[in-house]
Amino acid sequence: MTRPGPRSPRRVASRIARRLAAGGAALAGLAAACPPAGAADLVYDTAILQGLDKVTGRVMTIETPVGSSVHFGTLEIIVRTCRKRPPEDQPETAAFLDIWEIRTGEAATSLFRGWMFASSPALSALEHPVYDIWVLDCSDSNAKSPSTSVPTVPAPSAPASRTPAPPSATPAPAPAVPPSPRSP
């Protein structure tokens, strides 16, 4: 019996079967690594935006609840929804915004309506000669921030009959330094 040549139909079929099996295994591994197509984003009730006034150089962080409007210069910004991907997916934050320019004596002009993405602000940007707006993050208003969880204690007041000395007149006590463990 002769051995089949490198181009024989049986060898070609065997090679194709091996490649299909390897490709199928790689495809199965890829499918397991990718999130399901119907994975839902997490919806938040507050959008954190940042605005830049190009004339004054003022940068302002704006926290606005979903559904309400906030003003930045002559702009009125309405956040319709704010979403983030689940923590196990690739990070992405997106907000659907309506941005209007309101000038006194003129009708409001729609400047932007659409999704803005935190990871690529230039993908869908507001085009305005004076202002830039971009999405930073989404948050929940009912989540406690670290500043609100720490109770504030009022400072003790000095007695009315005694006036405190100016800070430069009373030197602060030196902190106690523990002795060195080394022997001389």
Mean pLDDT of 63-85: 95
**Distance separating alpha carbons of residues 16 and 34, to the nearest angstrom:** 26
User: What pLDDT, on the 0 to 100 scale, is given for residue 162?
Assistant: 43
- DSSP secondary structure, 94-125, as one string: EEEEEEEE--TTS--EEEEEEEEESS-TTTT-
pLDDT at 28 over 60: no
Tokens 């919806």 appear where? 43
Q: What is the mean pLDDT of residues 10-35?
A: 51
- CB within 8 A of 104, min separation 6: which ones? none
- The pLDDT of residue 22 is above 60: no
pTM above 0.85, yes or no: no
Supply the pLDDT for residue 112.
96
Q: What is the average pLDDT across 3-28?
A: 57
Sketch the domain layout of the chain as residue ranges: 42-139
pLDDT of residue 158: 44
Bridge partners, 59 (sequence order): 52
Binned at pLDDT 50, 70 and 90, residue 141 comes out as confident
